[in-house]
């Protein structure tokens, strides 16, 4: 079985397991701060996905949010790399029991191979194989249209608007847009850009497992992604992220971000520590 078809089945099976585990009591722990949560379901889901990959593809390299596989700094460019977030949107999972996703990005010899974002509670699998288009379940996603920022919805976590420096920069973008929305899951935010429901999504810090799957899907419908200064995203470190349709991405970059290069470079250095 091709890796792509295998991965589709694996993601759906992992989602089925999550729905079953949600019928039982959920154990919640904190990680780096009281709002950075992890549950027994996150850990069990990553265990399931990781063990299945290694059983079937023992030479695969894996990066998992909950600690499976290699550290990002030890990745080798050759071969297949799986980048896994077992539950993207854990706060939503804990508080809402919806609006979370399994996210997997697969790269082959450093190039995008396939992306998967599974909206578990709505049973919608967004997926793409590089060069072959993007789909929700078995229905093709249409190429996304360009738009002007002043007529666009953009995605942003409102917490960033309260932070010094980055909050000032982001507020100017929000003021220029029609309005902003927050979904609480970076993977679903990027998918909503790919669906044309948002024109752009921006954040000053994401880990590779947050964007690896969604970015491949986005690229297949004509969207673009970079850091806030227009540089490419890679799998070896956290990044700021700006994704969007081509026109809005360029407008935000040229009008709001490049003029703040010195500030953003300093923030990049801080957020990567």
> Which residues define the annotated binding site for Mg(2+)?
65, 85, 87-88, 210
What is the rounded radius of gyration, in angstroms, for the C-alpha atoms of the chain? 18
Nearest residue to 205 via CA among 180, 242, 236, 235: 242
DSSP H stretches of helix in 74-206: 90-95, 166-176, 186-194
For the record, the structure tokens of 143 come out as: 């190429």
Residue positions forming the annotated binding site: 65, 85, 87-88, 210
Contacts 24+ apart (CB under 8 A), 156-163: 156/180, 156/181, 156/182, 156/201, 156/202, 156/203, 157/182, 157/184, 157/203, 158/182, 160/203, 160/204
Distance between CA 60 and CA 228 in Å, rounded?
A: 31
Q: How far apart are CA 210 and CA 205, in angstroms?
A: 10
> Between helices 208-220 and 186-194, what is the axis angle to 10°?
10
């Amino acid at each position: 079985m091709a890796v792509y078809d295998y991965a589709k089945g694996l993601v759906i099976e992992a989602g089925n397991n999550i729905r079953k585990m949600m019928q039982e009591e959920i154990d919640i722990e904190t990680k780096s701060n009281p709002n950075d949560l992890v549950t027994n379901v996150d850990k069990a889901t990553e265990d399931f996905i990781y063990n299945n990959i290694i059983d079937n593809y023992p030479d695969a390299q894996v990066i998992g949010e909950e600690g499976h596989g290699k550290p990002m700094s030890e990745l080798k460019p050759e071969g297949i790399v799986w980048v896994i977030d077992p539950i993207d949107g854990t706060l939503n999972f804990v508080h809402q029991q919806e609006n979370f996703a399994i996210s997997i990005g697969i790269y082959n010899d450093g190039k995008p191979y396939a992306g998967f974002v599974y909206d578990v509670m709505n049973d919608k699998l967004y997926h793409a194989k590089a060069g072959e288009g993007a789909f929700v379940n078995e229905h093709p996603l249409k190429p996304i249209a360009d738009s002007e920022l002043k007529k666009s919805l953009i995605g942003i976590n409102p917490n960033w608007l309260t932070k010094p420096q980055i909050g000032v920069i982001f507020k100017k973008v929000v003021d220029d847009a029609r309005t902003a929305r927050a979904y609480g899951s970076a993977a679903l935010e990027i998918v909503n850009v790919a669906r044309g429901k948002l024109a752009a999504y921006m954040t000053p810090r994401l880990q590779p497992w947050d964007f690896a799957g969604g970015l491949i899907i986005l690229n297949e419908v004509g969207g673009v992604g970079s850091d806030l200064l227009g540089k490419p995203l890679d799998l070896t470190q956290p990044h700021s992220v700006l994704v969007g349709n081509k026109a809005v991405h360029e407008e935000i970059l040229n009008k709001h971000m490049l003029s703040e290069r010195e500030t953003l470079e300093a923030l990049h250095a801080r957020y990567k520590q």
